Structure 1
Amino acid sequence: MLCKVRFVEIQSLTAKIPLYCFGLTLSADRKLVLGFLQKQSKMVDCGLLTHNREPVPLKHIEVDLQVQGHVAAVTSTLQYVNEEEHPLEAVFVFPMPSGAALCQFSAKIGDQEIVAEVQEKQEAREQYDDALSSGEQAFLLEESEESADVFKLSVGSLPPGQSAAITFIYITELSVEADHSLRFCLPTVLNPRYTPAGTSAGIVSEITSSSTGIPYSLSFTAHITSPNPITKVESKCPLEPLMFLNTDQTKAKVSLCADHKFNRDVELYLYYQNPHQLTAIVEAGAPTAQPGSLMGDPVVMVSFYPEFPESVMSSVSSCGEFVFVMDRSGSMSDMMYNGPDAQKRIECARDTLLLLLKSLPVGCFFNIYGFGSDYESFFPKSVQYTQDTMEQAVKKVKEMRADMGGTEILRPLEHIYTQDCIPNHPRQLFIFTDGEVGNTKDVLHCVRRNADFHRCFSFGIGEGASSALITGLAENSSGHAQFITGAERMQAKVMQSLRYALQPAVIDITEDWSGVSFTPLSPPIKTLFHGQRALIYAQLKGEECQKPDAKGKISVRYRLGDQDVSNTVNFSLKPAENSGLAIHRLGARSLIRSLERDEQDDGADKEALKARVVELSKQSGVSSSHTAFIAVHKGSGQAVKGPMMPRRIHADLMLGCSLRSFHLCRASPFDIFLPQTPEAPKDLLLQLISLQKASGCWEMESKLAEVFGRTEKKLMKKIPAQVKPDVWATLLALIWLHGFKIDAQVEWQILAMKAVAWIRTQKVVNQSECVRVGNVLLGCQVKEDALGL
């Protein structure tokens, strides 16, 4: 007998969701109910559960990764068994990288395989309901209404004792890391998404967990092909040795070790030679598709990854309005990772805000917002950066707690956008969140409406942050996104983004094609920062594509600083090897996403745009917000009869889910927050940073002497003649940074540049002598020119 649960709204839950637990028992109008805290703090069913509150067993996951240059096709097969005495309907929820395109889904029940087809979403839902009421096995796979990086699979009428193998294929672009590697991530967790009051329950999720660990096995293999030679493949997970499959090392294979524990994201970092080289890959159309259609014609993918010269990297702007928006919801009290040295997310955020405040240029404007169920700002509006305003902000940062309830990011953003922009000070938003938001599409629409007045640098904190939210914030405002996972230092990635915000960016980007007729599939590129890459998709048309020796050429022209630059690549129109139409489908996904964004604009012809999206989705087999995958197995089942009943599960079965680890929903008459006390800087580097003045200098004091392992009296005894104490202190700080913290240079480089600029204003007559004495005093061997003086 199928069961039904009543769905209610939840405000915030903070536990993570292991992949094997996504979903719940039995559906109610296909909406997810994965938790609700009643006034007595009781929980409704969560996880993929039977009516006896046991998980539907997931036995094995098999993942095959096919990489072609900068894109990847991922095939995942999940094997389930219904060990109950009753047929089950279950909902399985899984995350997907932002920008990924789901393009194929099939299910095998026993010996029978069912392949899904793409249909308009409402038609697919009605067909699914009709199949269930007739006793037929059915599968419905659809994109979440709230966030494009979450998919929901409804498994209908799985017979007792029966096994089910569910296979889905998606394609995605690989992100570029700071060291020029390409990153692929297989998510294991999807953080619960906060849903604001007055909206639908959406994709809020909670978990159960086996006390004996992950109850299933995983196999993972990656096949890599690149236009340029592959130099290495790395991972934070244990890998088998890399195997090259040809002599020029453009093809390789690597697998996850068999004893891997699937308790964190599986990440691969791929390194190619000549990463900044403009490349183009042509993919043949499907033989069965109509010539002239998107899937019937060849499609080209151009990888554009501009190189920034040192002259640009060393230039820093002194203007701007910097608005830091910090998640202070309950989940920010979670640990950054599982380990003895792990900090809480809010602690890392405080340290990072301190570093940002010290690194801002004199004369800029800034403000800091904290948000949860509500929001607050340090100042009524952005203030000029001075010693006084910086000290006020530092004091408030040290008092910040993860004590603001849920994760409602839309309201503070709307408030920020109502503030008048400051002339000649471009507005730059730095948004920090663990991504637990249920109204992602509304947030991104708000950001896009205001894209002409700001750009956004977004940071996803911890495993499972929503890639759709974090990446979408940046993409919709010509900004830059970063993810901080595992033991990575938040400070390093955030300071990298601050450099981007202060440096010139690639602008005025144009594409010149020759030798080919084409239809663009990608939106125009507006801005690229250092370390960013763009993929350009185009449908190739015309008879020239049929000639065996036909050539095409594309030149990408842009402006960087005061320079006009052009990159050109010649490419053969002869298609590459069959790659499963991954490039076609990513091109289709790019066009579909553009049309979906256009639907949000005021005055848009929504019906016409929807019809075009549905047409493209069905033609390419790529998922969209208006379509779903539907598969029905015509069997001899009997119609489902009888009422659907709710089931409950006690809170003590939740993973880490005591009153210490989640916040109560707004329906509760009370909230519980654990007291926290401010902590001192975690290391000497942060202590040094905390003592720097807004101008860039340090003053001689006992706390600074502690960083150097000396007394203030000893430091002053060695001061060279005619040198002021603050100049001496600043020179010692620079020597210490270069001598002992060079590995963390990305974190302190900007504030060191401020210090150097300040020293130059002091006209130090015996600077070389100061550096020599400082080296002896601190036990360093730093050369004067290394300090940038």
Structure 2
Amino acid sequence: MDCCGLLTAQKEPVPLKSVEVELQVRDHVATVVSTLNYENKEDKPLEAVFVFPLPGDAAVCHFSATIGQTQIVAEVKKKKQAREEYDDALSSGQQAFLLEESDQSPDIFSLSVGSLPPGESASIRLEYVTELAVQADDGLRFCLPAVLNPRYQPQGSEGASVQVTSVPASLVPYSLSFSARVSSPRPVSKVESNCSLDPLQYLNTEQTQATVKLAAGHKFDRDVEVLIYYKDAHQPTAVVEAGQASAKPGSLMGDPVVMLSLYPEFPQDVMSSLASCGEFVFLLDRSGSMDCPMNNSKRDQTRIGSARDTLLLLLKSLPMGCYFNIYSFGSEYEHIFPKSVEYSEKTMEEALKKVEKMDADLGGTEILEPLQHIHSQPCIPNQPRQLFVFTDGEVCNTKEVISLVKKNSGSHRCFSFGIGEGASSALINGLAKEGGGHAQFITGADRMQPKVMQSLRFSLQPAVEDISVTWDLPKGVSVTVLSPPITAIFQGQRSLVYAQLSGQVGASSAAAEGCVMVKYSQIYLWSLLSPVCRLTVHRLAARTLIRSLETENDEDRGEPDEGVKKKVVELSVQSGVSCAFTSFIAVNKDNSEVVQGPLVRRDVPTSSEYISESKLSVEFKVFGQDCGSFPSLYCFSVGEVQVAVPKQPPRDPLLQLVSLQKASGCWLLDPALAAALGKTSEEVENTKPSAVNQEVWATILALIWLRGFKVDAQEEWELLAMKAASWLRAQNAPCVTECVEAGNALLGCNMQKDALGL
């Protein structure tokens, strides 16, 4: 059967024909313009409903529709008022369009296209602005989400879950065209993607402007991820954006707004001093969806399997003297120890035995309860809490989860990892942002281990505190900082600071450049302010304020009070940026012809990385009456829906070696180590210099093997190798040079003692 997804009565696909996306990147922020083209091929008027993902921190700022020669621009109104206007328009035969954010998660929007007459086409234009997240390798990540997996509804939570009509990713019936233009004060060094790109085209000799496109023939069957790299990535920048001429002076949209971008690089002596303390809490998703493969083109490892391997590396890399615990969750949660325990050989081995047995067998995705339990535990003196969260991020109580992390942000940092296509960017980015940590996404052919180990390294590096921000502005100009204050700066963590400039900010004072000085640990950063006439920064500043206000909860009810709601709605309407309490509404009041006949609802399918076999059906509604339902149709090969688990491949040699390391950092000389090194026990034992004990010899061999054969995976084993070298130095062993030479001869390497950290 070739047809797929939700079909009309004539077995025709639903009417979304194509998606066109233009991306404009300015330094660390992006403006995205999406055009959705619909066509009604039926003989009845349609209401098409398309539920789709957007980046979690996106600020939707424009929504319009073109039907024939008529363009209708939407207005931002209170959600209830917008819904009433939409329903009124449909009942009177007018065309109407409604765009609104999900009540549960800020990264899900639904678009309703009402009264599309038979044979008619409609073009919907959607514009949003967003901050680009910085990856651990200094790349800026833009993701155009295509995959929207159904969000899990926790037991007892209020409100209906977002209804998503999903089809297997390869069967999405609409195409995508995508182009990007990048400009920055710094040269663009490269642009990479998980999809095929045409070659990067530079637009000037300084290479500060460039364009790139998706290669022809791309089906919108997976998230489009674009990574942008600049030269001098750590250079601070500040951009001033002129206010809107039509807006009232003194208002957010009427005044200039400045965006300060800080992404510092600390001196090497600061970076080399890794902490030897901390309470490390690992929270692992064991819901059913974690049994999906990491990569659709590779069936050899599941998400839960990769997570087990990652926990092995994490546990081997922890410093002696720290504390740790491991939680896992699904519909319920478990923890390995009643409370965090001191890291030792005994506790590490006990934890690893339990990790090896962990499967994706705990049902749903209820992350809130284990987080509440973690935060209810008293902190350990002089052991700063570091929380690592691994999830495929498909929950619908995202705002509640992020609010909890924000409430406890003074006592911990949170590092989050979104696994697989469709992980909620609102959840993953929100956890890291409110928890002062770092967010990482593991998609496509990405390996989880190097990204997680980068974050562990960040967590072990010292924070810079006692930060001061000084504004030196022209006379008559004052500044109001809109972003929460910066209390600490970590290596690899980018901060964007938005501020409103008020007073005598005319053309003359704009020419007199201002200066921002950020001082921390005797390092000074400064940037000159130069005006830019766009509204991207204003809208992102408004979004920052809106998000901050939305999480100011009424203590008794756990939700924003009416005064806060009113302030948020006013700011949303003034800035044209949607929020949880407003929607975009457009009604074609010029349409003289009333649309005749019953209105049939069609849900446009969204790509899903996995589809459950059971209970997926779609309701049809005509004039609000239930006309029954029929199951959505899918194409699956039998092998994809079999419950049988394929045989696991033999263990990676690197993980085999790592699994043998002791908590102290050393290895034992035994047959298992010899096998991991690819040698016999006799070869390993007979070549040992006589004056050296077995553990020192075994540890030197392991270090030589890592440096000699696994240099491409250095990020994964670097911390445990540093621990091993530290253990070796503490032994004051004789004949280390002789050991290294003998080890090189045995393994066929040429490592120097210094390269091993000895």
Q: Settle same-fold status: TM greater than 0.5.
A: yes
Task: Name which of structure 1's ranges 776-785 and 307-316 shifts more when overlaid on structure 2.
Answer: 307-316
d(CA) in 2 for partners of 1:566, 1:544: 26
Aligned-residue sequence identity (percent) comes to 59
Closer/same/farther in 2, CA of residues 258 and 150 from structure 1, 3 Å limit: same
Match of 1:627 among 573, 579, 582: 582
Equivalent residue number for residue 415 of structure 1: 373
Equivalent residue number for residue 227 of structure 2: 269
Match of 1:731 among 675, 700, 704: 700
Q: CA deviation at 1:613?
A: 1.1
Checking the alignment, whether the CA contact within 8 Å between 1:132 and 1:640 is kept in structure 2 is: no
Equivalent residue number for residue 712 of structure 2: 743
Match of 1:757 among 726, 731, 735: 726
Partner-residue secondary structure (3-state), 1:379? coil
Residue type at the aligned position of 2:156: G
Checking the alignment, whether the CA contact within 8 Å between 1:94 and 1:151 is kept in structure 2 is: yes
Closer/same/farther in 2, CA of residues 184 and 286 from structure 1, 3 Å limit: same
Checking the alignment, whether the CA contact within 8 Å between 2:236 and 2:527 is kept in structure 1 is: yes
> Is the counterpart of residue 227 in structure 1 residue 188 in structure 2?
no
Equivalent residue number for residue 532 of structure 1: 493
Partner-residue secondary structure (3-state), 2:295? coil
Closer/same/farther in 2, CA of residues 377 and 51 from structure 1, 3 Å limit: farther
> Is the counterpart of residue 447 in structure 1 residue 412 in structure 2?
no
Closer/same/farther in 2, CA of residues 531 and 607 from structure 1, 3 Å limit: same
Match of 1:770 among 739, 749, 757: 739
d(CA) in 1 for partners of 2:481, 2:169: 49
d(CA) in 2 for partners of 1:341, 1:198: 36
Residue type at the aligned position of 1:76: S
For normalisation by structure 1, the TM-score amounts to: 0.88
Closer/same/farther in 2, CA of residues 763 and 355 from structure 1, 3 Å limit: same
Unaligned runs of 5+ in 2: 599-622
Match of 2:263 among 301, 305, 308: 305
Equivalent residue number for residue 682 of structure 2: 713
d(CA) in 2 for partners of 1:163, 1:605: 41
Checking the alignment, whether the CA contact within 8 Å between 2:554 and 2:560 is kept in structure 1 is: no
Match of 1:521 among 482, 493, 504: 482
Unaligned runs of 5+ in 1: 1-19, 22-46, 662-672
Equivalent residue number for residue 649 of structure 1: 630
Match of 1:594 among 544, 548, 561: 548
Checking the alignment, whether the CA contact within 8 Å between 1:145 and 1:202 is kept in structure 2 is: no
For normalisation by structure 2, the TM-score amounts to: 0.91
1:609-645 residue CA offsets vs partner (Å, 9 max, x unmatched): 2111111111111111111100111233258775522
d(CA) in 2 for partners of 1:433, 1:695: 30
Equivalent residue number for residue 510 of structure 1: 468
1:397-430 residue CA offsets vs partner (Å, 9 max, x unmatched): 1111111111111111112222222222222111
Q: CA deviation at 1:570?
A: 2.2
Equivalent residue number for residue 616 of structure 2: none
Matched residues, number: 724
Match of 2:352 among 394, 414, 435: 394
Checking the alignment, whether the CA contact within 8 Å between 2:146 and 2:220 is kept in structure 1 is: yes
Checking the alignment, whether the CA contact within 8 Å between 2:468 and 2:518 is kept in structure 1 is: yes
Checking the alignment, whether the CA contact within 8 Å between 1:66 and 1:74 is kept in structure 2 is: yes
1:146-191 residue CA offsets vs partner (Å, 9 max, x unmatched): 0011111122222222211111000011111222121211111112
> Is the counterpart of residue 381 in structure 1 residue 339 in structure 2?
yes
| Residue correspondence of structure 1 range 194-209 to structure 2 within 5 A | 194-199=152-157, 200-209=159-168
Closer/same/farther in 2, CA of residues 57 and 677 from structure 1, 3 Å limit: closer
Closer/same/farther in 2, CA of residues 659 and 114 from structure 1, 3 Å limit: farther
Partner-residue secondary structure (3-state), 1:343? strand
Closer/same/farther in 2, CA of residues 149 and 506 from structure 1, 3 Å limit: farther
Q: CA deviation at 1:531?
A: 1.5
Q: CA deviation at 1:342?
A: 4.7
d(CA) in 1 for partners of 2:288, 2:115: 38
Closer/same/farther in 2, CA of residues 638 and 679 from structure 1, 3 Å limit: closer
Closer/same/farther in 2, CA of residues 658 and 376 from structure 1, 3 Å limit: farther
Closer/same/farther in 2, CA of residues 80 and 682 from structure 1, 3 Å limit: farther
d(CA) in 2 for partners of 1:293, 1:387: 60
d(CA) in 1 for partners of 2:536, 2:87: 32
Partner-residue secondary structure (3-state), 1:91? strand
1:563-601 residue CA offsets vs partner (Å, 9 max, x unmatched): 4322112223xx22x43x111111111111111122455
Equivalent residue number for residue 116 of structure 1: 74
> Is the counterpart of residue 476 in structure 1 residue 434 in structure 2?
yes
Closer/same/farther in 2, CA of residues 485 and 161 from structure 1, 3 Å limit: same
> Is the counterpart of residue 334 in structure 1 residue 289 in structure 2?
no
1:535-580 residue CA offsets vs partner (Å, 9 max, x unmatched): 111111221443153110001122xxxx4322112223xx22x43x
Equivalent residue number for residue 611 of structure 2: none
Task: Name which of structure 1's ranges 760-769 and 678-687 shifts more when overlaid on structure 2.
Answer: 678-687
d(CA) in 1 for partners of 2:541, 2:624: 46
Residue type at the aligned position of 2:175: S
d(CA) in 2 for partners of 1:772, 1:733: 14
Q: CA deviation at 1:215?
A: 3.0
Task: Name which of structure 1's ranges 66-75 and 514-523 shifts more when overlaid on structure 2.
Answer: 514-523
Checking the alignment, whether the CA contact within 8 Å between 2:115 and 2:595 is kept in structure 1 is: no
Closer/same/farther in 2, CA of residues 748 and 210 from structure 1, 3 Å limit: closer
Equivalent residue number for residue 367 of structure 1: 325
d(CA) in 2 for partners of 1:384, 1:458: 23
Q: CA deviation at 1:64?
A: 0.7
Q: CA deviation at 1:380?
A: 1.7
Superposition CA RMSD, Å: 2.3
Closer/same/farther in 2, CA of residues 655 and 394 from structure 1, 3 Å limit: farther
Q: CA deviation at 1:680?
A: 7.1
Residue type at the aligned position of 2:541: G
d(CA) in 1 for partners of 2:106, 2:716: 33
d(CA) in 1 for partners of 2:169, 2:162: 22
Q: CA deviation at 1:345?
A: 0.5
Checking the alignment, whether the CA contact within 8 Å between 1:734 and 1:752 is kept in structure 2 is: yes
d(CA) in 2 for partners of 1:218, 1:70: 24
Closer/same/farther in 2, CA of residues 527 and 631 from structure 1, 3 Å limit: same
d(CA) in 2 for partners of 1:48, 1:539: 48
Residue type at the aligned position of 1:644: Q
Equivalent residue number for residue 43 of structure 1: none
Checking the alignment, whether the CA contact within 8 Å between 1:93 and 1:152 is kept in structure 2 is: yes
Checking the alignment, whether the CA contact within 8 Å between 2:135 and 2:440 is kept in structure 1 is: no
Closer/same/farther in 2, CA of residues 488 and 660 from structure 1, 3 Å limit: closer
Q: CA deviation at 1:266?
A: 1.5
Match of 1:176 among 111, 126, 134: 134
Q: CA deviation at 1:216?
A: 2.8
> Is the counterpart of residue 607 in structure 1 residue 562 in structure 2?
yes
Partner-residue secondary structure (3-state), 1:598? coil
Closer/same/farther in 2, CA of residues 544 and 167 from structure 1, 3 Å limit: closer
Residue type at the aligned position of 1:618: V
Checking the alignment, whether the CA contact within 8 Å between 1:97 and 1:172 is kept in structure 2 is: yes
Checking the alignment, whether the CA contact within 8 Å between 1:132 and 1:639 is kept in structure 2 is: no
1:248-279 residue CA offsets vs partner (Å, 9 max, x unmatched): 22222111111223332222222222111111
Checking the alignment, whether the CA contact within 8 Å between 2:6 and 2:165 is kept in structure 1 is: no
Residue type at the aligned position of 1:717: N
Closer/same/farther in 2, CA of residues 708 and 473 from structure 1, 3 Å limit: same
Checking the alignment, whether the CA contact within 8 Å between 1:191 and 1:435 is kept in structure 2 is: no
Match of 1:682 among 625, 632, 651: 651
